[in-house]
Amino acid sequence: MEQKIIESEDVVIRFAGDSGDGMQLTGTLFADSSALYGNEISTFPDYPAEIRAPKDTVSGVSGFQVHIGSCEIDTPGDYCDVLVAMNPAALRANAKWAKPTATIIVDTDTFNPDSIKRAGFKTDDPIKELNISDRILILSPITQMTKDSLADSGLENKMILRCRNMFCLGMCFFLFNRKLDYTYSYLERKFRKKPQMIDANKKVLFDGFNYANNIHAFANTYDVAPAKQEPGIYRNISGNQATAWGLMAASEKSGLPLFCGSYPITPATAILEELAIYKSLNVKTLQAEDEIAGICTAIGASFAGNLAVTTTSGPGFSLKSEALGLAVITELPLIVVDVQRSGPSTGIPTKTEQGDLDQALYGRNGECPICVVASHSPSNCFDMAFNAAKLALEHMMPVILLSEGFIGNGSEPWKIPSMKDYPAIHPPIITSLPEGETAFKPFMRDPVTMARRWAFPGTPGLEHRVGGLEKDSDGVISSDPANHEKKVRERAEKVARVANYIPDLKVFGPEKADVLVVGWGGTYGHLFTAVRRMIAEGKSVAFAHFDYINPLPKNTAEVFSRYGKILVCELNLGQFAGYLRTCHPEFDYLQYNKVQGQPFIVEEICDAVDKIL
């Protein structure tokens, strides 16, 4: 059969299988190979919530979606052009995401009566039951072919079966005209101490590629040209990795050592792991015994003169709340990174959500305002981590950086910046008493920023105390009612004045329109893509996205006043909309909310706006 090469602007591929089938690695290798080829990419790892879900069940399915293109790519895609399903459960969980024109690759060796039953099918024919017989179905005995490929390898059967994902990857490389060289290099690095595994995985990858070529089952293959990008050096980067690097960049620009005290928690652990690699860059990490110890060690490190950070997710953020109040009243710089996940309590640990906003804004005792910022994409995590550190250090206060599991685990191409393009960070460090002062007053403030001065312990003549009890400007414990109100108002004013140091709110689209779509955090890519599509269709719509939440940009009210209706879209039940009603009650806010542990779908946003229009 003659094969046709289809030139496509963008395609979406979804790899799915049991949690032990290596789908995360398969998707990552495909994404990295496409990034090196020059495609724009966006990825969405979709992990099972259970550590060891029963084999062949839907709850144990692990997925990885990759969106590649020659155009601007801002989301991992809604529905896939190619679905790889390694077992019946993977097919059942993901068939709904396959386009009507999709190619579905299935390992038929796993479709036995027991696995079909465990996947929850009511009949012995999953294809008919799912009503997907009209798709392009590639039904291949992948398990057996992997065994045949490595029959002479000397590997035990368990190790041979672990190579099945490489066979599928080889098939996909053929389907998308990808070279095998990058993956060969990766395998050589990964298994450098196990040469037998290098040869085995290379052979299976090569055999999968040739199998797809020889059987002529693919009527079409895809050619996705490289994207037009600014000149520079690019790499594929995840949000958690970018966050770690942004914090290290802030350490470099401030001249302060970086300390991270954290307790491992999904999906934030990778930030701690990444920082632990860089001892050579004056980074200190401590895996604490619990969440409370994590933030308390960070506060201590800040007192001692470090750029201090602690990382967590929603449940751990709750545990840190008392110590966050200590950071506020001592007015010490601290960055708290919350990579949000579905809650409450343990919730769905591997799924994404924006449910911690109210907690970030209000989740402490007393009058305890904190600056809150949010990342909006994997690569943006670098800039927002840097900016959060700059605000914390220069304004002498804790800053909460909200990320999400979707962008923390997801990845995209990132142009590696030059540090000369980033501003210096100038903390108000004091090393000696200014002329005319006879004693150090730790809570004397800068008249513009309201930031207090920072004296490191052991500096001669600058001995002082900070702590959880209210103090006057001299650092003396005070229970005077008037002094307490004065200090409470000063700390609130210091946060409010941050509005003078953050960028104005920008709008994508017309200066005036019938509907303004509003978002924050990781919803950016889906909202931007939806609004861009609607504008191209001639609809009266615009888009404003908030990276800075407390305080809001100074021009927020002016922007809102130019639009007929405001639609706030978020992955919760309306926390940002409620906050906007508090800050700017003069406007009416419509809501579109989703709480399913999954990001928005572009079509959902378009439909919501169409109903308003």
Lowest mean pLDDT among 55-69, 208-222, 298-312, 422-436: 208-222
Strand partners, 565: 515
What pLDDT score does 2 carry?
58
Radius of gyration of the chain (CA): 27
**Dihedral (C-alpha) 324, 330, 333, 339: value to the nearest 10 degrees?**
0
- End-to-end Cα separation, the chain, in angstroms: 49
* Site of tokens 């259970």: 50
User: What digits encode the pLDDT tens for the residues 244-284?
Assistant: 999 999 999 999 999 999 999 999 999 999 999 999 999 99
Cα-Cα-Cα-Cα torsion 400, 403, 409, 411, nearest 10 degrees, comes to -110
- Per-residue model confidence (pLDDT) at position 361: 98
d(CA 236, CA 241): 10
Nearest to 427 by CA among 308, 337, 311: 308
Q: What is the DSSP letter of 203?
A: H
Query: Residue 220 pLDDT more than 90?
Result: no
pLDDT for 483 equals: 97
Average pLDDT over residues 409-426: 95
More confident residue, 340 or 194: 340
CA distance 43 to 41: 7
Residue 364 corresponds to which amino acid?
R
- Main-chain dihedrals φ then ψ at residue 361, nearest 5 degrees: -75, -40
Instruction: Report percent pLDDT > 70 for the chain.
Output: 99
Q: Is residue 424 predicted with pLDDT exceeding 70?
A: yes
Q: pLDDT band at residue 230, thresholds of 50, 70 and 90?
A: confident
Please state the rounded mean pLDDT for residues 393-414.
97
- The domains found in the chain, sorted by start residue, are 4-223 (3.40.920.10), 239-248+256-415 (3.40.50.970), 507-612 (3.40.50.920)
HSE (CB half, 13 Å, CA atoms) of 39?
Answer: 26
Average pLDDT, the chain: 95
Are the C-beta atoms of 440 and 461 separated by less than 8 Å? yes
Q: What is the pLDDT of residues 338-385, one digit of tens each?
A: 999 999 999 999 999 999 999 999 999 999 999 999 999 999 999 999
Q: Does position 1 have pLDDT exceeding 90, yes or no?
A: no
- Residue 20: is it exposed, middle or buried by C-beta count within 10 angstroms (0-12/13-18/19+)? middle
Q: How far apart are alpha carbons 513 and 583 in whole angstroms?
A: 22
Whole-number pLDDT of residue 222: 84
Place of tokens 């959902």: 604
* Partners of 15 in the β-ladder: 64, 84
Closest CA to 312 of 280, 349, 279, 277: 349
Q: Quote the pLDDT of residue 3.
A: 63
How far is residue 237's CA from residue 32's CA, in Å, rounded to a whole number?
A: 10
What pTM did the predictor assign?
A: 0.95
Residue found under tokens 């990795």: 241
- In terms of Cα–Cα distance, which of 103, 95, 84, 99 is closest to 17? 84
Interaxial angle between packed helices 380-395 and 239-254, expressed in degrees from 0 to 180 and rounded to the nearest 10: 40
